Structure 1
């Protein structure tokens, strides 16, 4: 993984090139205060301080050049990403020495997923800051986002249920956490929906439920759940080839959950953490679950399978049941759950559903503050009838396609204990097009919002 710690360091007066950060509404005032040499360089570059616009400014000597970067009206995490991607290697400082949230984008603009394709070596662009107290937090956030990206970008042939379990165990070992993996007969008996979804991939890619526990038992207990479908063919309701193309990312919820757990443990947040990841491949074989099958669940509810491609909610149902049994203060789950969420909100906005108003409000506010916005959809009780089945307690995929994201949330709610506070994030976990600091591919969407909420709610030890 990228060595982020070497890219953001305290400013101790080291030689470095200056970056002028300019907002469009202050451009004229800034330009009029510059010497003629700078004004001439800006004019030659046709720089107007549009967000992301960047230009080099020559100095009196060859090594005295500086640069100017246009940013938006509000400070955000991606303000400095365009500069970090375009500057040559070296040391740099802002005129005020305060990168603020933009330091995150500076770091992530230099992250590359190079496991399978080695590009030209990238020179390091090191940002000097006179706010050293924020360095560790920013580096930890960058590492968490990079972990999500790397896990999601890894193809399914190298990221099956066993490899996902290995990634969880690696993070646990780093922080002294304990793990427990349930598979085989124990999975069939304790988590029958997880077993049913994954049974067509046995034995090579057998399903499992992986748990991680960490923290002082006297601290508030929280549960984080992530959907770990390592590849989704759609099952017997098979997806078209175009629909399967990105299904390596269907474990994006698990990647978010693991990255959040890593942040919690690295920061020693005073909580008792319980992370649960059901890891499966939704494959096709003679014993694959069929449309019309009726599955038992850990909760005791029976579920009629109307569509085998609505498998994520099944494995989450069993995991959420177990999470509720521990009676945590809050449960948060991440899942790449519905195409309907993307139709409604596009790729950038995770859909948020919650059964607790204070929790929902805190998550929305934290997302805005972190530059990681969420958009709330209702757990509309009027749509619960859509989940009815003539032969079972629930139907996993209502007919008609109406309110697909909401009905999926209502399905999950059936597996949450009464009076249990819970929030569900339906995230895309993917950038369909590159932006400064955000390459095309796997992406953490909603991770920083939840982390900011947890930090405000529980503080640090």
Structure 2
């Protein structure tokens, strides 16, 4: 999936789906269209507003509504996405909304999607943050793990190929920066999910150690050292060695060293457990 920042020309963009937004008004039932959604409605001679009224659409967070344009404007379908209460919108909520957008577009077999960032959202978040959250929501919301499925099944998987993030010309650079950051985060999260979704017969301690070494090679400020069983015995890591006695796989201990100078850094450290029997019970079901 590729993301691009483009100027906002909602009635001229060529795509399978154009996503616009709406939020709740003074009441939960009132639907307030974004400026971009209003432009689309005007180009469709009011068909969007009419359809929403007949379907009693509520602009709750993550709710979606699809309308076919029947050739009146370049894109094939309008995807209206609910934001909920705009005043209470958080970044986590924005990512959830973006995930709903991505899943609905993917379910409709859209290959090219355009998303018009509304000015009201950009008043809540910066353009850069909004673009990053959008990329993360769409990418991670449509994530699938199909590595062990047949080639035929993988070919049938619906894939969004391109997402155009539409914003004002003066905000394109900020949007592009947010897109790049979102892509980096999404790639890292998806990679971690792939490791977790592999069976423990694949993601063994040895395999995880090799993955860590490979990642460190591409990061000039990170070095990696993987300790084996003998190293761990020398270091007195009795707790890990004791647990590892329950497996035929040799235990590994991964040490990643980050040398980023004097910059403030947040490090997220995981246990790296590849197989956990802590939740298994040997008691009979009746007990």
TM-score clears 0.5? yes
Q: 5+ unaligned residues in a row in structure 1: which ranges?
A: 243-461
The equivalent residue for 1:174 is 218
Counterpart in the other structure of 1:367: none
> Are residue 113 (structure 1) and residue 145 (structure 2) matched?
yes
Deviation of 1:95 after TM superposition, in Å, equals: 5.3
Q: Distance in 2 between matches of 1:24 and 1:41?
A: 17
Q: 1:152 aligns with which of 173, 196, 211?
A: 196
Structure 2 CA distance for partners of 1:95 and 1:139, relative to 1, 3 Å? closer
Q: Does 1:187 align with 2:190?
A: no
Deviation per CA, 1:229-255, whole angstroms, max 9, x where unpaired? 211224xxx82279xxxxxxxxxxxxx
Secondary structure in 2 matching 1:175: coil
- State yes or no: 1:128 paired with 2:146: no
Cα pair distance change 1:72/1:145, threshold 3 Å: farther
* Cα shift readout 1:108-150 (whole Å, capped 9, x = no counterpart): 1232111112442323253322411211111111112212211
- The aligned residue for residue 338 of structure 1 is none
How far the C-alpha of 1:217 sits from its partner, in A, is: 5.4
Deviation at 1:165, TM superposition (A): 0.8
What are the residue-to-residue correspondences of 1:26-425 with 2, within 5 Å? 27-30=30-33, 34-35=41-42, 36-59=46-69, 61=71, 63-64=74-75, 65-73=77-85, 74-75=89-90, 76-87=94-105, 88-94=110-116, 96=118, 99-100=130-131, 101-117=133-149, 118-119=153-154, 120-124=156-160, 126-129=162-165, 130=167, 131-176=175-220, 177-190=222-235, 191-202=237-248, 205-216=249-260, 224-234=268-278, 239-240=280-281
Residue 60 of structure 1 deviates from its aligned partner by: 5.5
In 2 relative to 1, CA 94–172 (structure 1 residues): closer, same or farther, beyond 3 Å?
Answer: same
- How far, CA to CA, are the matches of 1:57 and 1:47 in structure 2? 12
**Partner residue of 2:22?**
22
**Whole-Å separation in 2 of the counterparts to 1:210 and 1:110:** 31
Choose between structure 1 and 2 for higher RCO, CA contacts under 8 A separated by at least 6 residues: 2
SS at structure 1 position matched to 2:269? strand
CA-to-aligned-CA distance 1:204-235 (integer Å, 9 cap, x gap): x111211122324565687653212211224x
Give 1:58 shift.
Answer: 2.9
* Alignment length (residue pairs): 232
Residues 42 and 231 of structure 1, relative CA distance in 2, 3 Å threshold: same
Distance 1:51 1:240 in 2: 40
Contact 1:45 1:55 (8 Å CA) reproduced: no
Judged with a 3 Å threshold, the aligned counterparts in structure 2 of structure 1 residues 29 and 219 are, in CA distance, closer, same or farther, namely: closer
1:18-62 CA-to-partner distances (Å, cap 9, x unmatched) read 322111227444399644211222234442212222111232626
SS of the counterpart of 1:105?
Answer: helix
Q: Distance in 2 between matches of 1:102 and 1:25?
A: 23
SS at 1:113 equivalent: coil
C-alpha distance in structure 1 between counterparts of 2:227 and 2:210, whole Å: 14
| Aligned CA-pair RMSD | 3.0
SS of 2:79's equivalent in the other structure is strand
Q: 1:222 to 1:126 in 2, by over 3 A?
A: closer
Q: TM-score by structure 2 length? A: 0.69
Q: TM-score scaled by structure 1?
A: 0.45
**Once the two structures are superposed, what CA deviation does each residue of 1:145-203 show, in whole Å capped at 9, x if it has no partner?**
2122112111111111111112211211222432212123221120222222213324x
